Structure 1
Amino acid sequence: MATISATPGTEPRKRSARLASLPKILILLLAVIVTLGPVAWTVLSSLRPPSESLGGSPISFSHLSFDAYKQAFAQVDMWLLIVNSVLVTGLIALAQMITAGFAGYIFARVPFRGRGVLFGVVLATMMVPMQVTIVPVFMLIRGMGLSDTLWALIIPAIPTAFGTFLMRQYYLTLPPELGEAAAIDGASPWRTFRSIYAPLSTPGLAIVGILAFNAIWNEFFRPLIMEISARNFTLPLGLVSLQGNMGTGSVSVVLAGVIISMIPALLVFVFGQRTLRQGLTTGTVR
């Protein structure tokens, strides 16, 4: 039985292709080290005994220890911080999905006078830094009697200019013939949205919810301004107390609190990655 010999020159070409891809591999490896290096250092440092947290390398400790995590729960009311963060983040993400869904549909599919100008005004709010509006917002919240409450964090964050823009662009990718057919059948704009466009917009709404969760979960500036009582602190704000007076707290305890705060966001990313990818690639195929 005849054997098929390799084409002359095939092996040198493969070898040269591997050598050509070597710089790309090295660059990607360097990017991975730069990205995951601080995370690995944080995890290892949080597993050091608190008595060894101020000296030596994070990989030179004598044994693995979860004492830092126990002390983190002992020094602050970690469960209360987690509940506050989950409540605030969950309500804001859900509210932004609802408001962005409605606003995006109206700007994309409901014609009215001044629609373009109004949409431009909405986009212009994205250019205004939060530091510029935080004082007027705080005064409004205080006038409503909601200062030092969780509602002070939830209500101002419900409108989302970016979510409105994202959902408007998403609705524009859906076939307009669907809405036209529903209008011919006598469906109102609300019925068209509820029965046709809302079910098709699930991937886009999931993107808004995931991005809102990641942004609000790690938020520190607004809770610092809006909240006074420790019972209303969210997780990023409450973890500051682990640093102790003049920053003399245990490094491993502080980093243990950081790892605890990272877990929910990491879970949302892991389980929402597929939905996020589908939402970004979904087009008129639907």
Structure 2
Amino acid sequence: MVDAQSEDAAAGFNPLRPKLMRVAYRMLGCVADAEDIVQEAFIRWIRTERGQVREPEAFLRSIVTRLCLDQLKSARRQRETYIGPWLPDPVVEEEEDEDVTLPLMLALERLSPLERAAFLLHDVFGLSFEEVAATVQRDPAACRQLASRARTHVREARPRFQVDKQFGLEFSKAFFAASRSGDMKALGAMLAAEVSIHADGGGKRSAAMEPVIGYDAVMKVHEYLAALFIKGGSTLVRAGFVNGLPGFVTREADGELQTTALEIEDGKISAIYIMRNPDKLRHLH
């Protein structure tokens, strides 16, 4: 039975939960870990003298950020032994997220935890450096430096070409149709010369152990895959935006889900991101 204290805490916490999840997910790139962090923040919120907290959102964001900083230390060690390319958990939404796309999340992986926190809190979530400093327990000047260094590293990952929402969705559906039917002519017309494939199987499902780079190599992969798709089937479950990029969710021949996200530049696909690791797809069920 839920006691009155927990109900009172939940009343103040639950409206903030989606914002806190956004912070935790963008810090960690893992939905399950982000959910655990936010739940731990709720437990701490229950134990807090809430009447003395003037700004609950800032207070809880600080708790979530600090918990994420601790989590990132162990996560980095785990990723050193990860099998094949690592991609963040796919989040599929109706609307595109222009602030934090999948390429940007991959660029964030190269930052230190503090650089990542400073960049996200200031550049993405719009906090002042004074607020960032209070959150990460550093002085504002240090936070300004952290964000500046982070900005230099991630500048190239910012989308250079704005893709119209409807065009992106239609383009991803056309890519699905061409790749699954084996229409290599239509597929080839969609690809940029330096296109790449990044597939995360996590050692749980088959996937290329290294990124596949270049038009010819990507076409060869899709010629091989088309024969498998035609024989085994690949069903479109949903089109949408996968981590801010046009893409889709499919159910593959093995019965498992898969997500595909397309980075589109100047009307051509420059990168294809495929999530096959079932552990990272559980939340989509």
TM-score category of the 2 structures, normalised to the smaller one: under 0.3
Q: What's the TM-score once normalised by structure 2's chain length? A: 0.24
Q: What's the TM-score once normalised by structure 1's chain length? A: 0.24
Structure that is richer in helix per residue: 1
Structure that is richer in strand per residue: 2
Higher relative contact order (CA 8 A, sep 6+): 1
